C-alpha cells in the first residue's frame, strides 16, 4: 500500500510558494508522521496504517533511522506483529520534538513569504490563475468587456491580455453564480478538441463567434492525432487537435497564418475566489 496523499505545509499556508520540509539523509515529514503515530497508537503496524504506508515500509524506514542514530529512536516489546507494542525512546522523543519545532518555524516562514508575494496585486492575480486546476489545454486570462443577458442565457465578451476578444455562452444562473460583471478578471478555458483550425487564406466565411487569427507556431504529430499550436498576436497561444488527414487537406505548415475557431458554448469561464 502506498502513501496516501497529504497536504504539505505550503498547501495549508494557502500561498504560491510550496516547499517540503526534508532533513539531511532523506528524513521527510513522512518519517516524523510515523514517529508521532507510534506515540498515538503504541504499535508499529497501527502507526503504519494510520499514515498510509505498508508494515514493511515502516520497518525499512525505522531500521535505517535506528541504525544510523547514536541511540535507538523506537523500542518494541515482545509480541510479534499482532501483539506487543512500540514506544519512542528518550532520543526518539527528543528528535520528534525538535522536528516539530522546526516544522512550526518552517510553516511561519512560508506564511510570511506568501503574504509578501500576495501583497502585490499584479502577482496575486498571476498566482490565482496558476492555481486553477483544469484539464483544458487552453487557458486564456482577461477582463470582461460586457455581459449580455436575455431569456435565461448570458453571453460574456472577454478581452484577453493580448487584446483578442472571445465570447462565452452560459446560463444567467451560472453568470450570476460566478458574479460576472463588466471589468472583472476571468479565465477562459477551451479544450483543444473543441478548437478547429482553418487556414487564414482559405476564403471561408464562418458562423462561429470565436475566430482568433494567429501564426502556426508548432505542429506535433503522434501515432493518432496532431496538435497544432497557434500563437496569437498578443502572445497567448491556442492548441487544437486535428487528424493527420485533416492536416494534409489543409496543407498547413509552421509559419502559416491560421484561425483558431471554436463555438461560444465550448468556452468555460473561471473566476478567482473572492
Per-residue pLDDT at 121 exceeds 70? no
Per-residue pLDDT at 223 exceeds 50? yes
pLDDT of residue 78: 65
Fold of the domain spanning 9-119: Arc Repressor Mutant, subunit A (1.10.10)
Is the pTM higher than 0.75? The answer reads no
How many CA atoms does the CB half-sphere of 47 hold within 13 Å? 28
Per-residue pLDDT at 94 exceeds 50? yes
Q: What is the domain partition of the chain in residue ranges?
A: 9-119, 138-270
Per-residue pLDDT at 4 exceeds 50? no
CB distance 65 to 30 below 8 Å: no
Could you give the CA distance from residue 135 to residue 268 in angstroms, rounded to a whole number?
Answer: 11
| pLDDT averaged over every residue in the chain | 82
Phi-psi region of 220 (alpha: psi -120 to 50; beta: other; left: phi over 0): beta
pLDDT tens digits along 26-64? 788 899 999 999 999 999 999 999 999 998 889 888 888
Check residues 102 and 78 and name the one with the higher pLDDT.
Answer: 102
**What cell numbers appear for 274 in the block?**
473572492
CB distance 30 to 50 below 8 Å: no
Could you give the CA distance from residue 153 to residue 7 in angstroms, rounded to a whole number?
Answer: 39
Architecture of domain 138-270: Beta Barrel (2.40)
Mean per-residue pLDDT, 131-145: 72
Q: Given pLDDT bands bounded at 50, 70 and 90, which one contains residue 206?
A: confident
**What cell numbers appear for 258 in the block?**
491560421
Per-residue pLDDT at 13 exceeds 70? no
Mean per-residue pLDDT, 177-186: 91
Check residues 146 and 243 and name the one with the higher pLDDT.
Answer: 146
pLDDT of residue 6: 38
Per-residue pLDDT at 133 exceeds 60? no
pLDDT tens digits along 97-110? 999 999 888 888 88
Amino acid at each position: 500500500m502506498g502513501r496516501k496523499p497529504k497536504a504539505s505545509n505550503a498547501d495549508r499556508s494557502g500561498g504560491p510558494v510550496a516547499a517540503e520540509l526534508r532533513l539531511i539523509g532523506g528524513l521527510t515529514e513522512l518519517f516524523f508522521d510515523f514517529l508521532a503515530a507510534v506515540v498515538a497508537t503504541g504499535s508499529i503496524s497501527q502507526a503504519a496504517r494510520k499514515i498510509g504506508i505498508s508494515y514493511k515500509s515502516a520497518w525499512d524506514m525505522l531500521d535505517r533511522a535506528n541504525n544510523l542514530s547514536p541511540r535507538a529512536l523506537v523500542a518494541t516489546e515482545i509480541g510479534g506483529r499482532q501483539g506487543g507494542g512500540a514506544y519512542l525512546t528518550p532520543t526518539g522523543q527528543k528528535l520528534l520534538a525538535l522536528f516539530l519545532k522546526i516544522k512550526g518555524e518552517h510553516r511561519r516562514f512560508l506564511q510570511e513569504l506568501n503574504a509578501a508575494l500576495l501583497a502585490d496585486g499584479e502577482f496575486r492575480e498571476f498566482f490565482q490563475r496558476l492555481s486553477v486546476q483544469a484539464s483544458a489545454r487552453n487557458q486564456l486570462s482577461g477582463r470582461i468587456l460586457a455581459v449580455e443577458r436575455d431569456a435565461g442565457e448570458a453571453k460574456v465578451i472577454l478581452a484577453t491580455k493580448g487584446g483578442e476578444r472571445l465570447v462565452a455562452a452560459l446560463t444567467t444562473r451560472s453568470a450570476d453564480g460566478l458574479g460576472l460583471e463588466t471589468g472583472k478578471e476571468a479565465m477562459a478555458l477551451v479544450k483543444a478538441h473543441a478548437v478547429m483550425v482553418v487556414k487564414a487564406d482559405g476564403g471561408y466565411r464562418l458562423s462561429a463567434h470565436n475566430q482568433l487569427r494567429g501564426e502556426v507556431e508548432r505542429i506535433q504529430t503522434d501515432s493518432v492525432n496532431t496538435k497544432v499550436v497557434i500563437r496569437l498576436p498578443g502572445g497567448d497561444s491556442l492548441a487544437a487537435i486535428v487528424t493527420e488527414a485533416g492536416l494534409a487537406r489543409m496543407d498547413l505548415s509552421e509559419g502559416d497564418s491560421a484561425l483558431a475557431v471554436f463555438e461560444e458554448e465550448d468556452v468555460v469561464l473561471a473566476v478567482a475566489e473572492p
